[in-house]
Amino acid sequence: MNNLIEFDTSSLWVVLPEIFLLSAIIVILLLDLFLNKYSQQVTYYLTQLSLLISGLLTFNLIDHPQVIIFSGSFILDNMASVFKVFMMIATMIAMVYSRHYLRAHLLFRSEYFILVLLSILGMMVMVSGYSLLTLYLGLEILSLSLYALIAIAHEKVYAIEAAFKYFILGAISSALLLYGMSMIYGISGSLNINEIANFVSNTDLTSRKTLIINFGLVFLVIGIAFKLGSVPFHMWVPDVYQGAPTSVTLFISTVPKIAAISILIRILVNGLGSMHSYWSDLFMVLSILSITLGSVVALMQTNIKRMLAYSTISHVGFIMLGFVTGTLTGYSAAIFYMLVYILMSLAAFGMIILLNKQGFEVDQISDFKGLSKHSPWFALMMLIVMLSMAGIPPLLGFYSKFFILQQIVSAGFITIAIFAVIFAVISTYYYLQIIKFMYFDEIDNNISINASIDMQLVLSMNVILILVVGLFPDFLIQLVLSLF
C-alpha cells in the first residue's frame, strides 16, 4: 500500500508570495557578502523591492476562492490575503522611516533589513497557518527575528536588556502556547484547525473532555495575550519599547499585531469558536485590565516611547473587546481597530524618528517643545495623530473606538461600554500633553529636521491618510466586514 501523499504542484501558485520572499531573503543574504559598508544602500532598496513584489503577488490572490493545501496545514482566504497586503504596506512605510533613524545612529546594517524580511516571512506563515504546527512554526520564525532586531544596537545597554527581557518572557509565553496546543492536540487527535473545530463542536460540554479542552484553552489565551501585550502579560512592552532602537520599536508596535490577531482568529475563532462562552470571559477580564492599567499608567510617563507603550496596552484592550462579543461583526470591528491603530502608530513613531539626528535621540515628551514654531507642518501632523489616537471625531481613531463600542452595546455589555468610554476620556490627557508641549511651550533650539525628502513625504501621506480615511471610513469598514 502506498502511503505517500502526492504533491500537487498547482498549490505552489497559492504560496508564490512566500516562495518569492524566501528566495529574495536568500539572494539578499548572499549578495550582502560582496557589499562593502558604503554599498549597503543596495540592501535597503532590494528589501523594499522584495516587499513590493510580494505585496503585488499577494494582492493578485485577493478574492481567490478559499483553498486549503499541504494536507490541511495552509489556507488561502481573503483574510490571509488582505492581512498580508497590509503587512507589506506597513513594513515598506516602516522601512522608509527606519532608514533615517539607522543613518542618524550609525546602525545602518544589512542584517537589519534581512531580519525584517525574515520576520515578515514568519508572519505570512502565521496568517495562512491552518494547523497548530504551522502556526507555531511561523510564530518562532517571527520571534527569533525580533529577538535579534531588538539587540541590533548591541553597544547600548538598554537594547541588550530589552532583548534579554523579550527573549526570556517570549520563550516562556511560547512554551505556554505550545503546551496549550499540545493539550488540544492530545484530546482532539488532530493538529488541523478544521478538524479541531469539528471535534469541539461535537463534544458534550458536560463531559471530562471539556475539562482538558478548557485547560489547554487557558494556556492558549495566555500565550496569545502575551504576544498582544495584554495585562497582566504586558511586562515586556514598556521596557522593550523604551530599550529597543526607535526604528525597531516602530516595527514591533505595528506589523506583528496583525500576526497576533491572525493566530487568535485561527485558533480561538475558527478552531474553538463553539467554546466562545468559555474564552470570552477571559478576554473580558484581560481587556478591562488592559484598558485600565494602560490608560492610568500612561498618565505618569515622561518618556514618549513608554507612554506610547502603555497607550498600546490600552488599545489592545479595546481590540480584545471586539472578540468578547462573539459575533462576526464584533471580530470585524476588532480587525478594523487593529488596522487603524497600525496606521496611527506608524505615524506617531515616524514623528519621533523625524526629530532624531546624529548624537541626539528623541525619547522624552518634552523633546517636542516648541515644534509648532520650528515646523508648523509637522506639528500639525503630530496634532492629527494624537487627536486620532485619543479618538476625537472626525478622525479615524474615533471610528475605530465607535465601531467597537457599538458592537459591545449590541451584544448587551452596556456597563463595559460605559467603562471603556470613561477610560478613553482619561487617556486623552497624555495625548493632549504632547500637543501642549508643541504649541504652548517655548521653542527648544535643539529641534531640527534633517530627514530625507522621501521620509517627510511618506510621513505626511501617512498622516493625511488618517484624516482622509477618517472622513470616508466606509471602504475600510466594508473591507473588514467582507473577511468573514
β-strand partners of 261: none
CA distance 348 to 243: 17
pLDDT tens, 355-385?
A: 887 667 788 888 888 888 888 898 899 999 9
Backbone angle region of 7, left / alpha / beta, with phi > 0 → left and psi within -120 to 50 → alpha: beta
Backbone φ and ψ for 357, nearest 5 degrees, come out as -145, 165
Average pLDDT over residues 146-158: 85
6 pLDDT above the threshold of 70: no
* 83: confidence class by pLDDT, cuts 50, 70, 90: very high
Burial of residue 365, with CB atoms counted within 10 A of its CB: 0-12 exposed, 13-18 middle, 19 or more buried: buried
Place of cell 478594523: 336
pLDDT tens, 384-410?
A: 999 999 988 888 999 999 999 999 999
Assigned C-alpha cell, 65? 476562492
Domain of residue 231, residue span: 10-481
pLDDT tens, 266-315?
A: 999 988 888 888 888 889 999 999 999 999 999 888 899 999 999 999 99
Residue 294 is assigned to a structural domain of this protein: yes
Place of cell 522601512: 95
Number of residues written out for the chain: 484
3 pLDDT above the threshold of 50: no
64 pLDDT above the threshold of 90: no
333 pLDDT above the threshold of 90: yes
User: What's the farthest any 2 CA atoms get from each other in the chain?
Assistant: 82
Residue 265 is assigned to a structural domain of this protein: yes
Asked if 71 contacts 6 with a C-beta cutoff of 8 angstroms, the reply is no
| Range 438-477 burial, b when 16+ CB lie within 10 A, else e | bbeeeebeebeeebeeebbebbbebbeebbebbeebeebb
Residue 351 is assigned to a structural domain of this protein: yes
Average pLDDT over residues 37-47: 83
Average pLDDT over residues 82-107: 91
Average pLDDT over residues 465-469: 91
Instruction: Give percent of the chain with pLDDT exceeding 70.
Output: 96
27 pLDDT above the threshold of 90: yes
* 1: confidence class by pLDDT, cuts 50, 70, 90: very low
Question: What is the average pLDDT value for the chain, to the nearest integer?
Answer: 88
Residue 182 is assigned to a structural domain of this protein: yes
Assigned C-alpha cell, 230? 495584554
Burial of residue 437, with CB atoms counted within 10 A of its CB: 0-12 exposed, 13-18 middle, 19 or more buried: buried
CA distance 149 to 389: 27
Q: What secondary structure, in 3-state letters, does the chain show? A: CCCCCCCCHHHHHCCHHHHHHHHHHHHHHHHHCCCCCCCCHHHHHHHHHHHHHHHHHHHCCCCCCCEEECCCCEEECHHHHHHHHHHHHHHHHHHHHHHHHHHHCCCCCHHHHHHHHHHHHHHHHHHHECEHHHHHHHHHHHHHHHHHHHCCCCCCHHHHHHHHHHHHHHHHHHHHHHHHHHHHHHHHCCCEHHHHHHHHHCCCCCCHHHHHHHHHHHHHHHHHHHHHCCCCCCCHHHHHHHHCCHHHHHHHCCHHHHHHHHHHHHHHHHHCHHHHHHHHHHHHHHHHHHHHHHHHHHCCCCEHHHHHHHHHHHHHHHHHHHHHCCCHHHHHHHHHHHHHHHHHHHHHHHHHHHCCECCECCCEHHHHCCHHHHCHHHHHHHHHHHHHHHCCCCCHHHHHHHHHHHHHHHCCCHHHHHHHHHHHHHHHHHHHHHHHHHHHCCCCCCCCCCCCHHHHHHHHHHHHHHHHHHHCCHHHHHHHHCCC
The total domain count for the chain is 1
CA distance 135 to 176: 14
Average pLDDT over residues 164-170: 89
Residue 2 is assigned to a structural domain of this protein: no
pLDDT tens, 169-195?
A: 888 989 999 999 999 999 888 899 999
Q: What angle do CA 6, 10, 16 make, to 5 degrees?
A: 120
Q: What angle do CA 158, 160, 166 make, to 5 degrees?
A: 100
Residue 5 is assigned to a structural domain of this protein: no
Residue 371 is assigned to a structural domain of this protein: yes
Cis amide linkage into residue 232, ω under 30° from 0: yes
* 154: confidence class by pLDDT, cuts 50, 70, 90: confident
Cα 58 to chain center, whole Å? 19
Asked if 460 contacts 381 with a C-beta cutoff of 8 angstroms, the reply is yes
Residue 394 is assigned to a structural domain of this protein: yes
* Residue-level pLDDT at 9: 65
CA distance 276 to 274: 6
